[in-house]
Amino acid sequence: MNSNDERAEAAPTAPEGVTRRIALQVLGAAAALPMLESLSVHEAAAQPARGAVPTGGPPMASSSQQVSLLSGPRGTASDPDLLRPKKDWPRKLNALELTTLAALCDMIIPADEHSPSASAVGAPAYINEHVSAPLDSNARDLVRVRGGVSWLNLESDKRFGRPFAKLTQGEKTQICDDICYVPKAKPEFSAGARFFSLVRNLTATAFYTTDEGMKDVGYVGNVALPKWELPPTAVLKQLGLL
């Protein structure tokens, strides 16, 4: 089990009345398948991660979403400079896998009146960068993500006769409800739940390190102040600093 899983499994369930987006804001602030239509599992694995999205398989929602699958927030533990990334490596997820991930990312952080969805700001591309990095831990994540995407599409086809990206919102929710929390997942969904846990953490990391995500969470750092002022006296007293 990796650290992402441990953090996700240790986190308590959101109390009643707290939305999934708010719970994720806290997280961000603190830190051969029939459903693949004409493409078999072996063919999908052999396709390059870069390049044009193929005409077969689940369609993208828009041209802007197609772009977001290939570009997004940069920076990993090996390349922490988001503004001037220097390290790079070939991306290993193919277009159909990214399409499925985009649909799942948007179930985790959907668009609302305050901000765009996770896929719109490039979360799938960030996940692709992470799992493609030449590190043993990232290689394990690649296996989990690639296997999880296959499982997700297989489960979608089993239940509804379509790949995950083509399901309705309600149908996607039914599957996500079974895998959204590792400790409560049924044995037959345990692998899917570990996959979801990893993707949820990576999606939150991707989203809340973008300008849109920082604005959504209310982060006000990285702004020059005209002058320095101490916090209000009432706040210092509340913190026990006076």
pLDDT band of 188, cuts 50, 70, 90? very high
Report d(CA 123, CA 9) in Å as an integer: 22
> Could you tell me the two tokens for 179?
């895998």
Whether 211 shows a pLDDT value over 80: the answer reads: yes
User: What does the pLDDT look like over 116-162, one tens digit per residue?
Assistant: 999 999 999 999 999 998 888 899 999 999 999 999 999 999 999 99
pLDDT band of 50, cuts 50, 70, 90? very low
User: What does the pLDDT look like over 64-82, one tens digit per residue?
Assistant: 445 456 566 665 555 555 5
Q: Which residue matches tokens 């300008």?
A: 211
Smallest Cα–Cα separation from 67: which of 109, 110, 104, 122? 122
